[in-house]
């Protein structure tokens, strides 16, 4: 039982934060977002050079052999600086899926290319009408002589418009909501029949709608076994949730700092507004939420690599539940305590709030995760 | 970073679990788990069993007869005790006055008082709060005037938990009215059999006699019963409150109560189904379960922090008491209208009279009422938010 970082982790965190403080400023970030590119080549290359794109890959694929705690450190730092690079999409979700479920040939082809910074990927799995249900997949994959033919529509594909290659979940058998019969495919973004509509998100990220119309892939595009992709998909999303939890913790800390600074500077009625007890208690509550969130983010990071499905799912959903609730309170209170300035585009707090809000909508909101842990109470009983 | 207990800690947990299985009497554990009243004899009996094992004081260093366990080991011990249905040990002696005597007391005081606390033969009460001095503790008015080799104590203490059983009481008294409020306070150990002490019950909203007023009318206390220096009592009191705050997270007790609540929720019926099958109820249970998990990790973070628990411990007091209160609220709601009936006799051993519903309902509303105290005592939760604002956030 210990909560200390190793010396290497501490050094990495320090250098990443230094880099972001110096190179990833508010103004620089604004320019990157306005470019509409969804990524900044210079920033992405710098992350590659720091080894962050290879952090959790095995050493034989140019990785550093890190774990969920390492991802937590990176994402928390990104959350503090509101980094909009495609790290979650490329490294955590797609890279993690290939690492955990891919063949040796797939790992050879993909992981070193991600590690070096030359390859961006995205996970295309959610569909309209499914909301957050992972098994609700209607995209069809028909077996044919050349391999498979894919048809369907994917939504909320984070950084889908920037990726050169996608991981697509599709149904090879079973009913729409069945966990059995889901297969994961590698699909080139420029393959014939793939059309991608790229959108800006409110918080400076990119998302995409992806239409698959008679897209032909070969049999070796399958990740893992046909019909049995659900477990790997669910684990990848759980790792994504743990990463988002850490990002939210970083953003909550940043909101705390911004709010403490603002309320101690801003004067009303002849005194800094931080002197008012009603504001102090609001900030104390924000602090409690941020600390509770940190505890749950550590728990999520510690569980994210586990193959004990029930235990992992419980920790991950408990974490996302409390962090969503905390992020809402910290975000809303942070804006409230900034007064009128808090609702302007000029203020850092407003941008933190927007990201915290979008994180809540990703991979399951509080209701979704509450229903997961709540229903698990019944299953455990049986 | 590693959230697993070490193999030594796991082995320790097994040892504690085995001991509890072998040594914790069934009559005591059953009553504790069902939240029925325990007799004084049961609490003393359990303390003596622990003492015989050398585990009478899990938080004390070895030199005073304690276990010398690390804080993580103490937490494991408390959790296992709670889950097994062991009664709560008496905090006032073991966790409150003893650390002060060990750190600031004289050799004579250590020799006189620590053994009786350890074997459960001497029960202590806390004489801090006064009418009019609640969270603003330093405004206390009970006086101790020096007369030769005695102090003459006059005044009133209140909220004195278990004062009706108290053999000794540790008191904060004003020895100097000329200086700032915090600077004129001394810390006295007073034998409750001394003439001039009068203990009167305060009946709480659950109808129970747990709390008392204690009146002091020209009570003679030998000067050698003062701990440390005259007028320095505030420093000792603050030291003690620091100890109280980390314990108030109560994770072990709440984990045991959560397990009990899930059991109740499977037993109590809602239109032919267990109430846990009602999604509205179950969601609230699941929410609380997650919050308790967060509290547990936060406690471990604070305990294993190499620089020791700081003012962040206020978070534990706030969250620990909020979670505790909601546990009992849900337990009451699970039993529904069966919780209406107030049958205090049913809390006593050997009751075989009628019940209004299941045994689950018997203590439910009383416990809920009783637990409202949690967010008020030990520095109210509003005071804890002041502490966070000032000492952690620097406002």
Note the pLDDT of residue A380: 76
Domain with CATH 1.20.140.10 in chain A: 231-381
Residue given tokens 């007023």 in the structure block:
B213
pLDDT per position as a tens digit, B111-149: 999 999 999 999 999 999 999 887 788 899 999 999 999
Distance CA B12, CA B246 (A): 22
CB contact under 8 A, A280 and B393: yes
Contact with chain B for residue A318, Cβ under 8 A: yes
How many other CB atoms are there within 10 angstroms of residue A200's CB atom? 14
Residue given tokens 């080139």 in the structure block:
A188
Contact A324, A370 (CB under 8 A): no
SS3 B308: coil
pLDDT per position as a tens digit, A66-110: 999 999 999 999 999 999 999 999 999 999 999 999 999 999 999
Contact B112, B79 (CB under 8 A): no
Note the pLDDT of residue B242: 64
Tell me which CATH code domain A7-119 carries.
Answer: 1.10.540.10
Strand partners, A184: A169, A223
Can B7-89 and B124-231 be said to share one CATH topology?
Answer: no
Note the pLDDT of residue B135: 77
Distance CA A317, CA A374 (A): 10
pLDDT per position as a tens digit, A251-270: 999 999 999 999 999 999 99
pLDDT per position as a tens digit, A307-348: 999 999 999 999 999 999 999 999 999 999 999 999 999 999
Task: Return the closest-CA partner of residue A63 out of A122, A100, A114.
Answer: A114
Strand partners, B157: B214
Residue given tokens 């850092």 in the structure block:
A348
Domain with CATH 2.40.110.10 in chain A: 123-229
Distance CA B287, CA B295 (A): 13
Tell me which CATH code domain A231-381 carries.
Answer: 1.20.140.10
Note the pLDDT of residue A382: 56
Give, in order, the Cα–Cα distances in Å from A125 to each of A21, A94, A128, A176, A183: 34, 11, 10, 13, 11
Residues with Cβ within 8 Å of residue B255, at least 6 apart in sequence: B79, B82, B83, B292, B296
CA angle B337, B343, B344 (to 5 degrees): 135
Task: Return the closest-CA partner of residue B363 out of B382, B346, B385, B379.
Answer: B346
Distance CA B171, CA B163 (A): 12
For B345-355, what is the mean pLDDT? 93
Burial-class residue A269 by CB neighbours within 10 Å (0-12, 13-18, 19+): exposed
Contact B35, B253 (CB under 8 A): no
Q: What CATH homologous superfamily does B7-89 map to? A: Acyl-CoA dehydrogenase/oxidase, N-terminal domain (1.10.540.10)
Note the pLDDT of residue B97: 95
Domain with CATH 1.10.540.10 in chain A: 7-119
Task: Return the closest-CA partner of residue B302 out of B47, B80, B99, B72.
Answer: B72
Note the pLDDT of residue A141: 98
Closest partner residue to B276 among A287, A370, A381, by Cβ? A381
Task: Return the closest-CA partner of residue A90 out of A155, A163, A33.
Answer: A163
CB contact under 8 A, B294 and A381: no
How many other CB atoms are there within 10 angstroms of residue A261's CB atom? 12
Note the pLDDT of residue A50: 95
* Minimum distance, in Å, between the CA of residue B302 and any CA atom of chain A: 10
H runs (alpha helix) in B24-156: 26-33, 40-53, 71-84, 91, 98-104, 107-118
Task: Return the closest-CA partner of residue A244 out of A311, A184, A317, A309.
Answer: A317
What are the structure tokens assigned to A20, written together?
């972001």
Q: Percent of chain A, pLDDT > 70?
A: 99
What are the structure tokens assigned to A13, written together?
């965190």
Distance CA A93, CA A301 (A): 14
SS3 A287: helix
What are the structure tokens assigned to A71, written together?
């991802």
Contact B221, B151 (CB under 8 A): yes
Task: Return the closest-CA partner of residue A54 out of A119, A135, A148.
Answer: A119
pLDDT reading at B245 higher than 60? no
Strand partners, A170: A183
Using 50, 70 and 90 to split pLDDT, how confident is the model at A57?
Answer: very high
Mean pLDDT taken over chain B: 94
Mutation choice for B interface testing from A377, A379, A381, A382 by most B CBs within 10 A: A377
Contact with chain B for residue A285, Cβ under 8 A: yes
Q: Percent of chain B, pLDDT > 70?
A: 97
DSSP A125-137: ---TTTTT-SS--
Residues with Cβ within 8 Å of residue A325, at least 6 apart in sequence: A289, A366
CB contact under 8 A, A318 and B289: yes
Q: From the candidates B244, B296, B329, B348, give the one annotated as an active-site residue.
A: B244
Contact B256, B83 (CB under 8 A): yes
> How many angstroms from the chain centroid is the CA of residue B184?
28
pLDDT reading at B313 higher than 90? no
The dihedral sign for the CA sequence A184, A186, A189, A194? negative
Task: Return the closest-CA partner of residue A55 out of A221, A239, A231, A233.
Answer: A239
For B209-229, what is the mean pLDDT? 97
Q: Identify the architecture of domain A123-229 in CATH.
A: Beta Barrel (2.40)
pLDDT per position as a tens digit, B140-179: 999 999 999 999 999 999 999 999 999 999 999 999 999 9
Using 50, 70 and 90 to split pLDDT, how confident is the model at B308?
Answer: low
Using 50, 70 and 90 to split pLDDT, how confident is the model at B286?
Answer: very high
CB contact under 8 A, B290 and A264: no
* Minimum distance, in Å, between the CA of residue B281 and any CA atom of chain A: 9
Note the pLDDT of residue B379: 85
Using 50, 70 and 90 to split pLDDT, how confident is the model at B246?
Answer: low
Q: Please check whether the domain covering B124-231 is classified as CATH 2.40.110.10.
A: yes
Answer CATH for B248-392 from 3.20.20.30, 3.40.50.1970, 3.30.413.10, 1.20.140.10: 1.20.140.10
The dihedral sign for the CA sequence A179, A184, A190, A191? negative
Contact A67, A305 (CB under 8 A): yes
For B99-119, what is the mean pLDDT? 97
Distance CA B164, CA B158 (A): 12
Distance from first CA to last CA of chain B, Å, rounded? Answer: 31
pLDDT per position as a tens digit, A34-52: 999 999 999 999 999 999 9
Q: Which helix (H) or strand (E) holds A340?
A: none
How many other CB atoms are there within 10 angstroms of residue B210's CB atom? 17
Distance from first CA to last CA of chain A, Å, rounded? Answer: 32
Using 50, 70 and 90 to split pLDDT, how confident is the model at B249?
Answer: confident
Contact B327, B394 (CB under 8 A): no
Note the pLDDT of residue B132: 86
Note the pLDDT of residue A216: 98
**Chain B residues with a Cβ under 8 Å from any Cβ in chain A:** 1-6, 9, 72, 262, 266, 276-277, 279, 282-283, 285-287, 289-291, 293-295, 297-298, 300-301, 304-306, 312, 315, 318-319, 382, 384-386, 388-389, 392-395
Q: Minimal Cα distance from B283: which residue of A?
A: A374
For B209-238, what is the mean pLDDT? 96
Closest partner residue to A5 among B1, B293, B393, by Cβ? B1
Residue given tokens 């796991």 in the structure block:
B10
Is residue B30 annotated as a catalytic residue, yes or no? no
The ipTM is: 0.95
Ordered by start, the domain boundaries in chain B are 7-89, 124-231, 248-392
Using 50, 70 and 90 to split pLDDT, how confident is the model at B359?
Answer: very high
Note the pLDDT of residue B335: 97
């Amino acid at each position: 039982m210990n909560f200390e970082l190793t010396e290497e982790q501490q050094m990495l965190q320090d250098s990443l934060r230094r880099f972001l403080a110096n190179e990833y400023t508010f103004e620089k970030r604004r320019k990157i977002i306005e470019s509409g590119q969804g990524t900044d080549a210079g920033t992405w290359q710098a992350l590659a050079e720091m080894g962050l794109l290879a952090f959790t890959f095995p050493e034989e694929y140019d990785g550093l052999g890190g774990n969920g705690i390492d991802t937590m450190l990176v994402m928390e730092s990104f959350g503090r600086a509101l980094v909009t690079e495609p790290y979650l999409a490329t490294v955590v979700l797609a890279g993690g899926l290939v690492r955990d479920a891919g063949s040796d040939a797939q790992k050879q082809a993909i992981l070193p290319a991600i590690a070096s910074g030359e390859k961006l990927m995205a996970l295309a799995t959610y569909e309209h009408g499914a909301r957050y249900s992972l098994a609700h997949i209607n995209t069809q994959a028909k077996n044919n002589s050349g391999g498979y033919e894919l048809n369907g529509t994917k939504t909320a594909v984070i950084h889908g418009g920037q990726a050169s290659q996608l991981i697509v979940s599709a149904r090879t058998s079973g009913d729409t909501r069945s966990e059995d019969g889901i297969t994961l495919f590698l699909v080139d973004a420029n393959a014939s029949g793939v059309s991608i509509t790229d959108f800006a998100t409110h918080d400076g990220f990119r998302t995409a709608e992806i239409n698959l119309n008679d897209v032909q892939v070969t049999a070796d595009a399958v990740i893992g076994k046909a019909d049995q992709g659900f477990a790997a998909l669910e684990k990848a999303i759980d790792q994504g949730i743990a990463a988002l939890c850490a990002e939210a913790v970083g953003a909550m800390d940043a909101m705390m700092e911004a709010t403490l600074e603002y309320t101690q500077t801003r004067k009303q009625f002849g005194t800094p507004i931080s002197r008012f007890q009603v504001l102090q208690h609001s900030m104390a509550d924000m602090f409690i939420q941020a600390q509770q969130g940190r505890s749950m983010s550590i728990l999520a990071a510690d569980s994210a690599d586990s193959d004990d499905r029930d235990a992992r799912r419980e920790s991950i959903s408990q974490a996302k539940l409390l962090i969503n609730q905390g992020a809402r309170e910290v975000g809303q209170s942070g804006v409230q305590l900034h007064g009128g300035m808090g609702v302007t585009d000029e203020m850092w707090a407003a941008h933190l709030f927007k990201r915290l809000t979008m994180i809540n909508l990703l991979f399951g909101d509080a209701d979704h995760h509450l229903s997961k842990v709540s229903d698990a109470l019944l299953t455990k009983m049986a | 970073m590693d959230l697993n207990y070490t193999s030594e800690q796991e082995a320790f947990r097994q040892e504690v679990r085995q001991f509890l299985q072998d040594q914790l009497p069934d009559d005591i554990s059953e009553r504790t788990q069902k939240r029925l009243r325990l007799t004084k004899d049961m609490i003393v009996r359990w303390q003596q069993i622990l003492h015989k094992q050398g585990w009478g004081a899990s938080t004390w260093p070895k030199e005073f007869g304690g276990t010398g366990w690390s804080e993580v080991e103490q937490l494991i011990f408390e959790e296992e005790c709670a889950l097994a249905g062991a009664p709560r040990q008496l905090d006032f002696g073991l966790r409150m006055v003893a650390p002060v005597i060990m750190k600031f007391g004289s050799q004579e005081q250590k020799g006189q008082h620590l053994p009786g606390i350890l074997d459960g033969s001497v029960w202590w009460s806390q004489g801090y709060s006064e009418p009019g001095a609640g969270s603003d503790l330093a405004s206390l008015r009970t006086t101790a005037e020096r007369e030769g080799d005695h102090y003459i104590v006059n005044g009133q203490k209140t909220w004195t938990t278990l004062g009706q059983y108290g053999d000794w009481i540790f008191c904060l008294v004003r020895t100097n009215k000329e200086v700032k409020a915090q600077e004129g306070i001394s810390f006295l150990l007073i034998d409750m059999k001394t003439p001039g002490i009068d203990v009167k019950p305060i009946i709480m909203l659950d109808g129970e006699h747990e709390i008392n007023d204690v009146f002091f009318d020209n009570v003679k206390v030998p000067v050698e019963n003062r701990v440390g220096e005259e007028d320095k009592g505030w420093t000792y009191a603050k030291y003690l409150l620091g100890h109280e705050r980390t314990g108030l997270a109560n994770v072990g007790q709440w984990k045991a109560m959560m397990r009990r609540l899930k059991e109740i929720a499977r037993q109590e019926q809602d239109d032919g189904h267990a109430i846990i099958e009602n999604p509205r109820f179950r969601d609230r249970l699941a929410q609380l379960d997650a919050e308790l998990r967060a509290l547990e990790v936060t406690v471990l973070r604070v305990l294993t922090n190499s620089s020791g628990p700081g003012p962040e411990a206020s978070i534990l007091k706030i969250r620990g008491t909020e979670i505790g209160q909601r546990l009992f609220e849900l337990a009451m709601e699970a039993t529904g209208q069966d919780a209406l009936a107030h049958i205090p006799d049913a809390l006593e051993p050997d009751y075989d009279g009628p019940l209004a519903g299941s045994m689950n309902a018997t203590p439910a509303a009383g416990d809920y009422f009783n637990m409202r105290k949690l967010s008020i005592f030990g520095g109210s939760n509003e005071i804890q938010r002041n502490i966070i604002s000032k000492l952690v956030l620097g406002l």
